Amino acid sequence: MASEGEARAELRSHFSDRFRDAPEVLDRFGRDQSHLSARPLGVVAPRDVESLVWLVRWARRRRVPLVARGGGTSLDGESVPSPGGVVIDLLGWDQVLEVDRVDGIARVEPGVVNHDLQDALGPDHFFPPNPGSWRTSTIGGNVATNASGPRSFRYGPTRAWVRAARVLLGSGELISVGSRAPKRSVGPDLLGLLVGSEGTLGIFVELTLSIAPRPALRTGLVVPMTPGVALAPVAAGLALERSNGLVAVEYLDRTCASALAQVPGARIPDASALLLLEVESADAAEETRRLEAIVDRLARAGVPDDATVYPSADELWDLRGASGVALDRTLGARVREDVSVPLGRIDDLLASIAAIAAAAGAPVAVFGHLGEGDLHPNFGLEPGTVDGEKVRARLLRESLHLGGTISGEHGVGRVKAGFLVDQVGPAGVALLGRIKNACDPDGILNPGATLPS
């Protein structure tokens, strides 16, 4: 491996001002939204695919770790570099290359911000996945972590909306996977393997996405929850309303609702847990019918009609996306998690979260995607400490015990890599290691993410 001085000199010679290593740059690119951080050797912003290929081949020769980075919104350390590694800054790769409304696709570079893509698609189409970070997270990052968001209740996660990709493997080889066609059956799904791989197998250089017709009306509802009403029957009843235009079923506990109510412009009650819903409609008459049907469904589950209507659901999701900042003020440093269980076990999961917090003597706030059994508990403990990591471990194993997962949508990253064996078993981890070795024989791409080091 080259000395850091030699490595910097080579990168500066090749990339000129597209290589940066000022201390403030290294500090900024050495962290994401997790509690982890590491100091990289430098940050490179390649100008094109050829420059990126050169960088990967250089890293192979020099055994220098690389991590591709978009908006830096990862919550589990997916975009934290290895110490002494190089960060690939892809935010400049922000072009929407093509929108084909006949084929229902958009071809984009990986640095396109999710919300910017929505704007670029205009009034007739949209890209359904809308993670809470949609105003800052990039499509490349969304695909790399298989991100979701409120609308995944009806539309599914990012994986369901990726048709094709051009990918630079850790071997330095460029491959194209998937197809513009909406249907294919050509053996093992290489595209599906790469989606959600957290930059450990390859770097996306171009993505072909499916897009959907944009509904005329998107209405948000904020519904106070009646204390003592079990969530599983409510969620199960609402699942029947997908065909009636219901696209999102979100949950905020009372602590989270109270924190979010303090956000300027918020129009939500702060004295109870809340459901946040989105309903799509073709016109005002259909909107009225659909809202009435959903309110009736809630009433049958014991939730009375006391809803606040948001004429624009996007306004509601921007507010929901501020949950993290709101809890920063309420809880401060905290263990932030993401687990998913079968819908029928959601009340068991909530009871377990409360018991874990009580045993640790820690406050807790919970929000998440109720319609999919995916919750985000926030424990008021310092992450990375013995106490904080004990709480995380207990939560993840409790989720598995309930038939769930260690991650519903945030990914595994570095934070949860050590728990992957609990999810897939030793043989599963060994298989993933062999796949990693085939795609990235020198282990330079995001080492330590997903797979335990």
Amino acid at position 118, single letter? Q
453 has pLDDT over 70:
no
The CA R_g of the chain, rounded to the nearest whole Å, is 22
Q: Does one domain contain both 119 and 74?
A: no
Q: Does one domain contain both 111 and 135?
A: yes
343 within a domain of the structure (yes/no): no
- Which tokens in the block code for residue 21? 């290593």
Q: Does one domain contain both 225 and 286?
A: yes
Q: Does one domain contain both 281 and 255?
A: yes
34 within a domain of the structure (yes/no): yes
Q: Does one domain contain both 117 and 209?
A: yes
Q: In what order do the strands lie in the sheet with 96-100?
A: 96-100, 105-108, 202-210, 162-169, 174-178
- Mean pLDDT, the chain, whole residue set: 95
Write the pLDDT tens digit of every residue in 21-44: 999 999 999 999 999 999 999 999
452 within a domain of the structure (yes/no): no
85 within a domain of the structure (yes/no): yes
* Burial class of residue 222 (count of CB atoms within 10 Å of its CB; 0-12, 13-18, 19+): buried
Of 290, 323, 356, which residue sits at a domain end?
323
80: domain CATH number? 3.30.43.10
Q: What is the pLDDT of residue 2?
A: 59
pLDDT band (50, 70, 90) for residue 452: confident
Q: What is the pLDDT of residue 132?
A: 87
Q: What residue has token string 């999961």? A: 349
Q: Does one domain contain both 298 and 311?
A: yes
Write the pLDDT tens digit of every residue in 187-219: 899 999 999 999 999 999 999 999 999 999 999
- Paired residues of 246 in beta bridges: 279
13 within a domain of the structure (yes/no): yes
% residues pLDDT > 90 (the chain): 90
88 in Cβ contact with 68 (< 8 Å): yes
% residues pLDDT > 70 (the chain): 99
Q: Does one domain contain both 49 and 83?
A: yes
Write the pLDDT tens digit of every residue in 266-301: 888 888 999 999 999 999 999 999 999 999 999 999
Distance of CA 369 to the CA centre of its chain: 12
Amino acid at position 384, single letter? G
1 has pLDDT over 60:
no
CB atoms within 10 A of CB 311: 11
Q: Can you tell me the mean pLDDT for 55-64?
A: 97
Q: Residue 68 to residues 81, 125, 153: CA-CA distances in angstroms?
A: 9, 29, 29
Q: Does one domain contain both 299 and 278?
A: yes
Q: What is the pLDDT of residue 264?
A: 86
Q: Does one domain contain both 187 and 100?
A: yes
401 within a domain of the structure (yes/no): no
446 within a domain of the structure (yes/no): no
368 within a domain of the structure (yes/no): no
Q: Can you tell me the mean pLDDT for 70-74?
A: 95
Q: Does one domain contain both 198 and 127?
A: yes
Of 68, 89, 110, which residue sits at a domain end?
89
Of 304, 323, 342, which residue sits at a domain end?
323
154 has pLDDT over 90:
yes
Domain coverage including residue 279: 217-323
349-378 residues labelled b (16+ CB within 10 A) or e (exposed)? bbebbeebbeebebebbbbbbbbbbbbbbb
364 has pLDDT over 60:
yes
Q: What is the pLDDT of residue 325?
A: 86
pLDDT band (50, 70, 90) for residue 263: confident
Q: What is the pLDDT of residue 416?
A: 97
Q: Residue 131 to residues 14, 20, 147, 148, 402: CA-CA distances in angstroms?
A: 36, 30, 6, 5, 25
Domain count, the chain: 3
Write the pLDDT tens digit of every residue in 75-103: 999 999 999 999 999 999 999 999 999 99
**Residue 175 dihedral angles phi and psi, to the nearest 5°:** -130, 155
pLDDT band (50, 70, 90) for residue 306: confident
Q: Does one domain contain both 130 and 111?
A: yes
Rounded to whole angstroms, the Cα distance separating 123 from 214 reads 7
Give Cβ neighbours of residue 383 (< 8 Å, ≥ 6 apart). Answer: 34, 35, 333, 334, 335, 336, 389, 392
Rounded to whole angstroms, the Cα distance separating 26 from 84 reads 10
pLDDT band (50, 70, 90) for residue 145: very high
Q: Does one domain contain both 154 and 227?
A: no
pLDDT band (50, 70, 90) for residue 171: very high
* CA 25-45-78 angle, 5° bins: 70
Write the pLDDT tens digit of every residue in 319-353: 888 888 899 888 999 999 999 999 999 999 999 99
